[in-house]
Amino acid sequence: MAWFVLVLSGILEAVWATALGRSEGFTRLIPSVVFGVALVVSMAGLAYAMRGLPVGTAYAVWVGIGASLTVLYAMATGAEPVSPAKVVFLLVIIGGVVGLKTAA
């Protein structure tokens, strides 16, 4: 259950990171509210997952999922250019997350 919650929390990290960018310095209401809600739920899920997983592993997986999904979303929407190097390094991050899961 801890891994499931951790993955969901990592997804919500990507949601709040994207919403933060779209809030334009908290001047837009809807993205600002999405940011706040996703941040709180994501942190609560991370805290829950850390009760059953090592702190370093849980945090690294949470950040890896959030960072990877944030960049993938930005590239998919055209907000960030796609390059072969970015794809390779995203695969490295994803590989690291999978490795941490299998080693835990």
Query: How do residues 11-52 score in pLDDT, each as one tens digit?
Result: 999 999 999 999 999 999 999 999 999 999 999 999 999 999
Alpha-carbon gap, residue 40 to 23, rounded angstroms: 16
In this predicted structure, what is the pLDDT of residue 31? 98
- At 100 the pLDDT is 86
User: Does the pLDDT of residue 104 top 80, yes or no?
Assistant: no
| pLDDT averaged over every residue in the chain | 95
- When mean pLDDT is compared across 27-31, 39-43, 55-59, 99-103, the lowest value belongs to 99-103
> 43 to each of 6, 10, 27, how far by Cα in Å?
10, 9, 23
Residue 101: pLDDT band (50, 70, 90) is confident
